[in-house]
Amino acid sequence: RAYSAAISACEKSRQWQLALGLLQEMQQLEVSPTAVVYNAAISACEKGQRWEAAVLLLEELRLREFRPDTISCSAAISACAGCGQWAEALRLFGELALRRLAPDVVACHAALSACAVGRRWDTALELLAASAGLRARPSALCHVAALGACEAGGRHCAAPPLALALQEAAEGCLRASPPLGTASSSSRSSLLLPRISTPRGGRNQVLQT
């Protein structure tokens, strides 16, 4: 328990090196790490932007006959996406189905962010459509990431419908959350969303704020 608490503290304080050192010390002392310990170590690597270490720990977790869960997989995916390793992030995301795990919002957002880095707008649209049927519905940030993937991939014609979906999702999230300070829901949403207008031709356009 002491090691578990220490590694969890390292994860919260972004001390990935210390977390890995404690994990190695456990192995040297023949103290078997639990899945919770591995999850904390993987999350520490994510926050420390050490994607290779996160992936190795995920594989080590599997080799120790632990079943990686959504938390460990999402942290590894986020680590890869945050370091620009979009192909590895999408590979890990694809393995969720093989592990019979349903991706959560964190994993979906990380995968969509990876699509933006890799300019994989088509994959982003597929992921967004697939995530709509999951228990954890895509958040406003997921729509932002998908919109970014379309823009990065030069697929501007897909941007207006996505921007509309983004607006609806973001407003729903803001209604469900408590007010921040004195800002209203409408004023906070204006900070997140592109402005959308309908010109005379009837087609939506995304305007820069």
The residue-averaged pLDDT of 28-36 equals 89
**How many other CB atoms are there within 10 angstroms of residue 11's CB atom?**
23
User: For 77-113, what is each residue's pLDDT tens digit?
Assistant: 999 999 999 999 999 999 998 888 888 888 998 999 9
Half-sphere exposure of 196 (CA within 13 A, CB side): 16
Calculated CA dihedral for residues 18, 22, 27, 33, nearest 10 degrees: -110
Judge if pTM exceeds 0.95: no
The residue-averaged pLDDT of 115-119 equals 90
